[in-house]
């Protein structure tokens, strides 16, 4: 992720008088024990949100409208958050981009989730979650945001669910009456698979400075994936624009290579939903992976993350983004060394804290899990 200028988050909402009163009446007991029974969103221990609606967007995606609790401190358009959901008694954490604008008047936020084949959490959220459920949240984070005080012309290139953080930015700009001069090129298999299609068309109709190009990759007309000739037609002045790209790895790899070849990488801001991994090293070797706290052991091939190996061994380590951003999976290395799957670098000393979602054993390893 690319850094942008420092910014401040909105101030947290003031606690209700009920919370302060409860603290007085229940001393020396912990008031949260009682408050949670009345309304779990009032707790001060964790940030929670109630699901108010699950809105289908396409056949395999839905937007969750959430009412966040007292600890919610707001977000900037383009950021993401970690979501904790209990499935069959096990807490799972995943990262999802916020698709709503920070200016939403009712204080609600929305995340838009695409059900991934074989993805337990995404399929649960899209197909099984119901209004009234309570989720745990982490604070909004991420740098896929517009620098404050800039009026650069923009080019946004997205595909699939990579549209979600850009949708937050467009909704925010519309709410503020400050839509920039922007060209959006969005790729989807078909019109039926295009997230927010009707709203995008309405935004483009209402804001002439927003040039919208919906490219359907399974269509014979104006279809296909990202390529130089296509971009030159859709956005002839692409060289002079600040570029935001979000979507599948194949798209982002092509976009990054294109801007690097043009010598304009500094104009490109990329948001990834999966880590960019180093090329597989044919000489990389794994080893025995010992989970000290669980008294279990597994064999590693040196290419599979410690997190995945632990899950295959029946463990359920804490984690969040699964891509090396949130540090929710950090664990203590007892002995051995590990390989960073993003860079290929081998490192590790006793008591180092490592991110198990993006590290694999480089030889025999013992870890405090």
| Size of the chain in residues | 369
Q: What is the mean pLDDT of the chain?
A: 88
Tens digit of each residue's pLDDT (9 = 90 or more) over 164-221: 999 999 999 999 999 999 999 999 999 999 999 999 999 999 999 999 999 999 876 6
Orientation angle between helical segments 197-206 and 163-176, nearest 10 degrees: 40
Tell me the CATH number of domain 287-367, given options 3.30.565.10, 3.40.225.10, 3.90.228.20, 3.10.20.30.
3.10.20.30
Please tell me the predicted confidence (pLDDT) of residue 2.
43
The CATH number, out of the four listed (2.40.30.20, 2.40.50.140, 3.40.50.720, 2.40.30.10), of the domain defined by the range 17-137? 2.40.30.10
Domain ranges, ordered by start, for the chain: 17-137, 154-272, 287-367
* pLDDT tens figures, 323-369: 887 888 999 999 999 999 988 899 999 999 999 999 999 999 999 99
Instruction: Flag whether pLDDT at 34 surpasses 50.
Output: yes
Task: Tell me which DSSP letter residue 315 carries.
Answer: -
Indicate the CATH number of 154-272 among 3.40.109.10, 3.40.50.80, 3.40.50.1100, 2.60.40.420: 3.40.50.80
Contact at 8 Å (CB) between 140 and 97? no
Query: How many whole angstroms separate alpha carbon 330 and alpha carbon 108?
Result: 31
Tell me if residue 128 falls in helix, strand or coil.
Answer: coil
What's the mean pLDDT in 137-152?
89
Examine the pLDDT at 25 and tell me if it is beyond 50: yes
- 1: pLDDT strictly greater than 90: no
Please give the Cα distance from 68 to 76 (Å, whole number).
15
Q: What pTM does this model have?
A: 0.77
State how far the Cα of 100 lies from the Cα of 63, in Å rounded to an integer: 10
pLDDT band at residue 318 using 50, 70 and 90 as cut-offs: confident
Query: Tokens 């190996």 belong to which residue?
Result: 309
**pLDDT classification of 319: cutoffs 50, 70, 90:** confident
Task: Please give the DSSP secondary-structure letter assigned to residue 226.
Answer: -
Q: Is residue 62 scored above 90 in pLDDT? A: yes
* pLDDT over 80 at 26, yes or no: no
Q: Is the pLDDT confidence value at 6 over 50? A: no
Judge whether residue 156 has pLDDT over 70. Answer: yes
Q: How far apart are alpha carbons 268 and 266 in whole angstroms? A: 6
Q: What is the pLDDT of residue 3?
A: 40
């Amino acid at each position: 992720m690319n850094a942008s200028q420092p910014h401040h988050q909105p101030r947290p909402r003031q606690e209700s008088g009920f919370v302060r009163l409860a603290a007085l009446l229940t001393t020396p007991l912990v008031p949260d024990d009682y408050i949670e029974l009345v309304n779990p969103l009032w707790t001060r221990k964790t940030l929670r949100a109630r699901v108010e609606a699950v809105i289908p967007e396409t056949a395999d995606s839905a937007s969750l409208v959430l009412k966040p609790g007292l600890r919610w401190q707001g977000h900037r358009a383009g950021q993401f958050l970690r979501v904790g959901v209990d499935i069959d008694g096990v807490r799972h954490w995943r990262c999802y981009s916020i698709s709503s604008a920070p200016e939403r008047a009712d204080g609600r936020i929305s995340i838009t989730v695409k059900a991934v084949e074989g993805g337990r959490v995404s399929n649960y959220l899209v197909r099984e979650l119901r209004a009234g459920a309570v989720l745990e949240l982490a604070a909004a984070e991420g740098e896929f945001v517009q620098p404050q005080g800039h009026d650069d012309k923009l080019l946004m290139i997205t595909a699939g669910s990579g549209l979600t953080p850009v949708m937050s930015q467009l909704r925010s700009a519309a709410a503020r009456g400050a839509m920039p001069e922007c060209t959006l090129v969005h790729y989807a298999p078909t019109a039926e698979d295009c997230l927010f299609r009707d709203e995008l068309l309405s935004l483009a109709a209402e804001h002439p400075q927003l040039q919208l190009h919906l490219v359907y990759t399974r269509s014979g007309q104006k279809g296909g994936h990202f390529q130089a000739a296509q971009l030159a037609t859709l956005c002839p002045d692409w060289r002079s624009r600040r570029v935001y790209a979000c979507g599948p790895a194949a798209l982002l790899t092509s976009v990054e290579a294109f801007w690097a070849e043009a010598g304009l990488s500094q104009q490109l801001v990329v948001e990834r939903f999966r880590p960019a991994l180093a090329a597989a090293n044919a000489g990389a070797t794994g080893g025995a992976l010992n989970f000290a706290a669980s008294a279990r052991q597994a064999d590693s091939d040196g290419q599979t993350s410690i997190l995945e190996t632990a899950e295959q061994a029946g463990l359920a380590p804490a984690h969040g983004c699964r891509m090396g951003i949130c540090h929710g999976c950090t664990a203590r290395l007892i002995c051995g060394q590990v390989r960073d799957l993003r860079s290929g670098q081998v490192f590790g000393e006793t008591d180092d804290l490592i991110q198990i979602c993006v590290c694999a054993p480089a030889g025999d390893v013992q870890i405090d899990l």
